[in-house]
Chain A
């Protein structure tokens, strides 16, 4: 079945450091890929998405590229801020509008 694997956290960085959170997936066909972010005390929010191979999703300085050859969708940001501290979830959907399958989440802590 479809699955998503994320790097374990927590990830602790200093402000302005470069961020990478690894995400790989297993799926049949051509899934859509997502990154969601959950700030403390809030619900999950869609951060970015990519719906086909080689697409790059981007938002708020974060980027992720849909790599079918390596079945990966790694999240990157060039310079993190304290306000980026949150839990980040990688997810996939096997069909348009279908159910989401989540990775285990990665906690990011950014220190000033």
Chain B
């Protein structure tokens, strides 16, 4: 089946620094990738939709200058949390859409802790 990886799985950073999270589709090409955020015991909230070669589309309330998304190839999208603060601590999950428009393949997530 289609596999999506994320790296790193866990990261701890200091307040004010930037952190980059990678999302890769390992065995298929993904023209569209999605970035979600999940708070403890809560649902996944879509942050942005990333299309290869174009600017990401951000959901209302998501700061695009704080959460930089780059989708430079058909197998890689990155999320950079800039000037991170403790309130950015969360579980970030990416997904990638393959040929079937109904199916998204999810990565295992990245736990970000900002101290």
A binds B: yes
Selected contact of A104 from candidates B32, B43, B102, B104, CB within 8 Å: B43
Contact yes or no, B43 A102, CB < 8 A? yes
B38 CB to nearest chain A CB (Å): 9
Within 8 A of B (CB), among A52-108: 89, 93, 96-97, 99-105
Contact yes or no, A97 B44, CB < 8 A? no
Q: In the docked arrangement, what's the CA distance between A53 and B97, Å?
A: 24
Contact yes or no, B101 A44, CB < 8 A? no
Secondary structure at the B interface, as helix, strand, loop or mixed, is: strand
1/0 contact string of B38-63 vs chain A (CB within 8 Å): 00011111100100000000000000
Instruction: Please name all residues of chain A whose beta carbon is closer than 8 Å to the beta carbon of B34 when the two chains form the complex.
Output: 99-100
Instruction: Please name all residues of chain B whose beta carbon is closer than 8 Å to the beta carbon of A100 when the two chains form the complex.
Output: 34, 44, 46, 104
Contact yes or no, B109 A99, CB < 8 A? no
Instruction: Tell me whether B84 is interfacial, beta carbon within 8 Å.
Output: no
The tally of residues in B whose CB lies under 8 Å from a CB in A reads: 22
Contact yes or no, B103 A104, CB < 8 A? no
Q: In the docked arrangement, what's the CA distance between A38 and B5, Å?
A: 15
The tally of residues in A whose CB lies under 8 Å from a CB in B reads: 22
Within 8 A of A (CB), among B58-115: 93, 95, 97, 101-109
Contact yes or no, B4 A46, CB < 8 A? no
Q: In the docked arrangement, what's the CA distance between A100 and B49, Å?
A: 11
Selected contact of A97 from candidates B95, B102, B107, CB within 8 Å: B102
Contact yes or no, B108 A42, CB < 8 A? yes
Tell me whether A102 and B44 are in contact in the complex, defined as CB-CB below 8 angstroms, given that A43-B4, A43-B93, A43-B109 are known contacts.
Answer: yes
Q: In the docked arrangement, what's the CA distance between A58 and B41, Å?
A: 26
A-B contact pairs, 23 of them (CB 8 A): A34-B102, A42-B108, A43-B4, A43-B107, A44-B93, A44-B95, A44-B106, A46-B104, A49-B102, A49-B103, A51-B102, A89-B43, A89-B44, A93-B102, A96-B101, A96-B102, A97-B101, A97-B102, A99-B46, A99-B49, A100-B44, A100-B46, A102-B43
Q: Interface of A with B (CB < 8 Å)?
A: 32, 34, 36, 41-46, 49, 51, 89, 93, 96-97, 99-105
